[in-house]
Amino acid sequence: MELLFLGTGAGVPAKERNVSSIALQLLEERGATWLFDCGEATQHQILHTSIRPRRIENIFITHLHGDHIFGLPGLLGSRSFQGGDTPLTIYGPKGIQAFIEISLSVSYTRLKYDLQVVEIEEGTIFEDERFLVIAKQLDHGIPSYGFRVVEKDLPGTLLVDKLKALGIRPGPIYQQIKLGKTVQLDNGTVIDGRDFVGPPQKGRIVTILGDTRYCEASVELAKEADVLVHEATFAAEDSALAHDYFHSTAVQAAEVAKLAGVKRLILTHISSRYQGTLSEELLEQARELFPNTELASDFSSFIIPRKK
């Protein structure tokens, strides 16, 4: 599991930072990539990475401001043109379907894959046997959502040495034992599979928030997450501007991380007023309150290790 930042700027593209898009790489977990937001030129950014558009399985849109959605029509069309034929689902606030339909219709874009658009409300918006995604509305003046991506716990590892010590040889029976079932051996002995499986492997939690002022929903979504991705559009001294424009400061992002008990905070969505070394001041301000903070740049990647 890896976070790859394709765009870390706010509002408009800048020389150092493109507008918002984050890829959650789940190649080992499901052979897929999930995108969070798709600002202008996201597909150009993808060209500089190992991401394959046909492997993009889900796109989660936090809100409908242009710097988070203007890259969608181009990416959807190129995915089809490049031979992508697997289904793709887009989750986003009310209005995202109209935006996509009009963009594709006016440009006469025809997709060769099944595209599903889900207009979301608060609650669980995605769930399968491996993951679930919970959405909550934030405070940004327009509907803006944060997403809590939860990897479900994995079964414990099979204690093979313990089985071999009893003379139980590898075969189909191992699968039954791994499932924790009661199994009768050839000699009539009955064993409980649960005695031969280690403790469950705890799943990981990644919280990715859209644009927002400080709000309780941010803390709830981030509770004990392995990683919190939070906007830091403004520095602490510009907190009045942050409030007026429905954004957060780096310090407010750190406050959310501390209150939620997260393991690591990653700052993104940096205003172009903080170029070069000025952006490092945002990082320093956040670290004073929450030391395990990182500042994302375009193409920054962060591995999210499995819990031990």
Q: Which residues are annotated as a binding site for Zn(2+)?
A: 63, 65, 67-68, 140, 211, 269
Task: Say which of 37, 67, 226, 298 is annotated catalytic.
Answer: 67
Binding residues: 63, 65, 67-68, 140, 211, 269
Residue written as token pair 């990653």 = 266
67 annotated active-site: yes
Indicate which residues carry an active-site annotation: 67
